[in-house]
Amino acid sequence: MAVALVTGAGQGIGRATALRLSVAGHRVALVGRDPAKLDAVAAELAGEALCVPADLTDAGAPDHVFGAVEREWGAVGVLVANAGTGLAAPLVETTDELWRTMLEVNLTAPFRCIRRAVPGMTAQGWGRVVVVASVVAKRGERQVAAYSASKHGVLGLVRAAADELARTGVTVNAVCPGYVDTPMTDATVATMGERLGKDPAQARALLARRQPIGRLIDPDEVAAAVLACVDNAAITGQGINVDGGTVQS
């Protein structure tokens, strides 16, 4: 089994993915900003865990994180670039700061992690990169121009990297969730409620109804798609929808 590194591992999709990777027999390095959350997830894992607190918007963070894992366990074979953030604003109220934040967290940080991971993967002739993108990597959506642009960008990065690495034994994919029942969605619910004059339960129901299945996606359902990309060498260059039928492709 491989050495796996999961970013944004302290909660939500990252936590669910780390649990699945651990059950599958992988060593799992947990990366995130909150050491206490990482420790809590590590205690849940079935096998070995390594916690590496880091802020991936720092340009030097990938070298620090990968170096720590390599010193302990060797080269990373599975990278799950899950860390992300979402902020909403009308286009004309989207500030330069909001724009930069979306690009730094959702596009530049995954790029730096992939760039750092690839040499070790190609050297061993095997590797799996999975980026957690979004359903809005495939369509535009009102109020989230910056978020949508960052996720479109990261899907383009995935496709280009997959083509470049196709004959090296390294696959590169994205999973594209809809609205998932995570703390990040809780923040979206709060913002929606304030804007629309709804209580949290009403705002959450509105989000659920945006998906044809009529409910939020469970984080473990996204994690299952991540594991499918890890297990299947013939899947590369894909953006796999986990969105309850929102985008049919």
Q: What is the mean pLDDT of each run of 10 residues along the chain (249 residues)?
A: 96 98 98 98 98 97 98 98 92 97 98 98 98 96 94 98 98 96 75 71 82 94 98 98 90
- The C-alpha R_g of the chain, in whole angstroms, comes to 17
- The catalytic position among 144, 147, 155, 204 is 147
Predicted local confidence at residue 18, as pLDDT:
98
Assess if CATH 3.40.50.720 describes domain 3-178+218-242.
Answer: yes
Neighbours of 6 (CB within 10 A): 34
Q: What is the pTM of this model?
A: 0.94
Predicted local confidence at residue 198, as pLDDT:
74
> What are the residue ranges spanned by the domains of the chain?
3-178+218-242, 181-216
Predicted local confidence at residue 25, as pLDDT:
98
Is 179 one of the annotated active-site residues of the chain?
no
Predicted local confidence at residue 196, as pLDDT:
67
Q: Say how far apart CA 215 and CA 235 lie, in whole Å.
A: 28
Q: Is 49 helix (H, G, I), strand (E, B) or coil?
A: strand
State the DSSP H helix or E strand holding residue 112, giving kind and residue range, or none if neither.
Answer: helix 109-124
Predicted local confidence at residue 193, as pLDDT:
63
Predicted local confidence at residue 248, as pLDDT:
87
Residue that the structure tokens 């720092």 belong to: 58
Predicted local confidence at residue 192, as pLDDT:
64
Strands laid side by side in the 27-32 sheet: 49-53, 27-32, 3-7, 78-81, 127-132, 170-177, 239-242
Predicted local confidence at residue 189, as pLDDT:
67
